[in-house]
Amino acid sequence: MNREYAERICLQIFDALDAMYKAEMAIAGLGKQERTRFHHSVQEVIADLEDKLLLPICEQYPDLLPPTEERKPSILFSELAWSEVKLPSSVTEDQLDEVILSLLTPRWRKVVWFVTIAEKRYKELGWAISHEATAARLKVLSDMDRIEGVGDMRYWGNSEVRLKD
């Protein structure tokens, strides 16, 4: 399978998993007997999606996996304003924006996921740019209407970004 197909399939699997997690939350509100009956079925579907579909694809393309707890940034909140950010002298705002835009897709992504992926790319480029600086720049790009952002961008797990359609 080529990377383009792997990405397309993974995006659909992530959407399906999101739906199953929401179903799991809804099931939690049922009575005990119904909750017990449906919870097991939802868990089986989630396990199959992860083990039989997602993992085999991500064994071939590991970077398609979302960040795990050990790969997530240690902080998930920042009030750092872009005006307070000091970029390394070898990096311009335009270069940073170019990298950020190259990593975004039309699919919504949690900011926490994005800052993790961006950090990996920065390391490849030899740049020392913090998660907080990336999140601050995402807010600026969203405010400038260059990208779409939803939620309070200070809370990385509760906000999302994507390329404009």
| Residue 55 pLDDT level (bands cut at 50, 70, 90) | confident
Helices (H) and strands (E) in the chain, counts: 6, 3
CB-based contact 66:15 (threshold 8 Å) = no
45 and 11 share one domain = yes
60 and 98 share one domain = no
Residue 69 inside a domain? The answer is no
CA distances from 46 to 23, 100, 152 (A): 11, 31, 29
pLDDT at 6 over 80: yes
Residue 103 inside a domain? The answer is yes
Domain C-terminal end among 22, 38, 64: 64
- Whole-number Å distance between alpha carbons of 80 and 82: 7
Can you give the residue range of the structural domain that contains 150? 82-163
Per the structure, how many domains does the chain have? 2
- For residues 52-74, give the mean pLDDT: 72
Output the pTM of the full model.
0.59
101 and 35 share one domain = no
pLDDT for position 147: 96
DSSP letter, residue 105 = -
3-class SS shares of the chain: helix, strand, coil, % to 5: 60, 5, 30
Please identify which residue in the block is written with the tokens 């200070």: 154
pLDDT at 87 over 90: yes
Residue 54 inside a domain? The answer is yes
Residue 71 inside a domain? The answer is no
CB-based contact 120:138 (threshold 8 Å) = no
Residue 142 inside a domain? The answer is yes
- Whole-number Å distance between alpha carbons of 103 and 101: 5
pLDDT at 19 over 60: yes
91 and 56 share one domain = no
104 and 131 share one domain = yes
| Residue 110 pLDDT level (bands cut at 50, 70, 90) | confident
Q: Mean of the per-residue pLDDT values for the chain?
A: 86
Buried b (16+ CB within 10 A) or exposed e, 85-120: beeeeebeeeebbebbeebbeeeebbbbbbbbbbbe
Residue 126 inside a domain? The answer is yes
- For residues 52-76, give the mean pLDDT: 71
Domain C-terminal end among 19, 38, 64: 64
108 and 159 share one domain = yes
110 and 59 share one domain = no
Residue 73, C-beta contacts closer than 8 angstroms, at least 6 positions apart: 112, 115, 116, 119, 131, 156
Beta strands in the chain (DSSP E): 109-110, 147-150, 160-163
